[in-house]
Amino acid sequence: MLILTRKLGENIRIGDDVKITILDIKGGQVKLGIEAPPHISVHREEIYERIREENRRASEVPPQLLREIAGAMRAPKKQRPRAH
Amino acid sequence: MNVRTREWGTLEVGEERLVHCPEGLLGFEELRRFALVEIEDCRPFVWLVSIEDPEVSFPLADPRFFQEDGYGVHLSPTDEQRLDLRAGDSVAVFVVVTIDPHRGATANMRGPIVLNTRTRLARQVITYGAGLTLRQPIRSNQETPIRAAQPAATRA
């Protein structure tokens, strides 16, 4: 891992196209500005972990439970009087 | 082709139902080949069944069940390239469904699976949007979210 120390307002370049600017440092938080071309996706690491977790949970859905929910969705909905 | 599954035994799946995820899904990167299977009593959900591992399948849904006001996915140039998306191609968008003990079926609106229906290439993309959550309950005309009854003691 490359470790660099930067001050407020300074930048890091990754390749020719990606520029990261230190915009703000407050307490334990750093605000970064990221300029990158559209083909480079930039996401917080947590979103990958959360989607991974949802995928794992999805792979463990018991088909029997889903069947019950699906059955309830297909059931004809009761007509309710509507206020005007 | 025949696809072995733990839940439904061996399924006969037509070529038009096959899905190729060259990068896998997050957390399941090693699985690349899937079949999109409709099981009669699971409608309107469909199952993305791994061809390589009979133990793995994912329930998917049409995002419109979860997002009343419509649902848009922005595809990056990389997404388009990976899907081999060309003018005139159409894409199908699915959301991955899980079951939350309190909210019933929920869908991950932040990580939809996008399928190019011509090439059968698919990719899980990350989306942002106001109000999109990883566990969006099913929208319904009913007052409360649809919940499953208590899990049956025995599996059918």
Distances (CA, A) of B51 to A55, B3, B13, B58, B75: 17, 6, 10, 12, 26
Q: What is the DSSP code (8-state) at residue A70?
A: H
The per-residue pLDDT for range B52-97, each reduced to its tens digit, is 999 999 999 999 888 877 888 989 999 999 999 999 999 999 999 9
Q: Is B156 on the interface with A (CB under 8 A)?
A: yes
Number of folded domains in chain B? Answer: 1
Q: Which of the pair, B148 or B52, is modelled with greater confidence? A: B52
pLDDT at B66: 84
Q: Is B133 on the interface with A (CB under 8 A)?
A: no
pLDDT at A49: 96
pLDDT at B101: 78
Phi and psi based region of residue A58 (left: phi greater than 0; alpha: psi -120 to 50; beta: remaining): alpha
Among chain A residues, the shortest Cα distance to B108 is held by A54
Out of A38, A48, A61, closest to residue B59 by CB:
A61
Numbered residues of chain A with Cβ closer than 8 Å to any chain B Cβ: 38-41, 43, 47-48, 50-59, 61-74, 77
> In the predicted model, is pLDDT for residue B145 greater than 80?
no
Give me the average pLDDT of each 10-residue run along chain A (84 residues).
96 96 96 93 94 97 91 71 60
Of the candidates B60, B67, B78, B110, the one whose C-alpha atom is nearest the C-alpha of residue A46 is: B110
> In the predicted model, is pLDDT for residue B156 greater than 90?
no
Q: 3-state SS of B49-76?
A: EECCCCCCEEEEECHHHCCCCCCCCCCC
The answer as to whether B36 is a domain residue is yes
Which CATH number belongs to the domain containing residue B96 in this structure? Answer: 2.30.290.10
> In the predicted model, is pLDDT for residue B154 greater than 60?
no
Q: Is B108 on the interface with A (CB under 8 A)?
A: yes
Residue B137 DSSP SS3: strand
ipTM: 0.86
The answer as to whether B26 is a domain residue is yes
Residue B150: pLDDT band (50, 70, 90) is very low
Integer Cα distance of B140 and A22 in angstroms: 45
The per-residue pLDDT for range B92-136, each reduced to its tens digit, is 999 999 998 777 899 999 999 999 999 999 999 999 888 899 999
The answer as to whether B53 is a domain residue is yes
For residue B65, give both structure tokens.
Answer: 């069940």
- Position A15: which residue type? G
The answer as to whether B155 is a domain residue is no
Q: Which runs of E-coded beta strand occur in chain A? A: 11-14, 18-26, 29-35
> Do B6 and B54 contact (CB within 8 A), yes or no?
yes
The answer as to whether B154 is a domain residue is no
Give B10: exposed, middle or buried? Use CB within 10 Å, 0-12, 13-18, 19+.
Answer: exposed
Q: Is B134 on the interface with A (CB under 8 A)?
A: yes
The answer as to whether B156 is a domain residue is no
Q: Judge: A64–B141 Cβ closer than 8 Å, yes or no.
A: no
pLDDT at B27: 96
Q: Which structural domain, as residue segments, surrounds residue B78?
A: 2-149
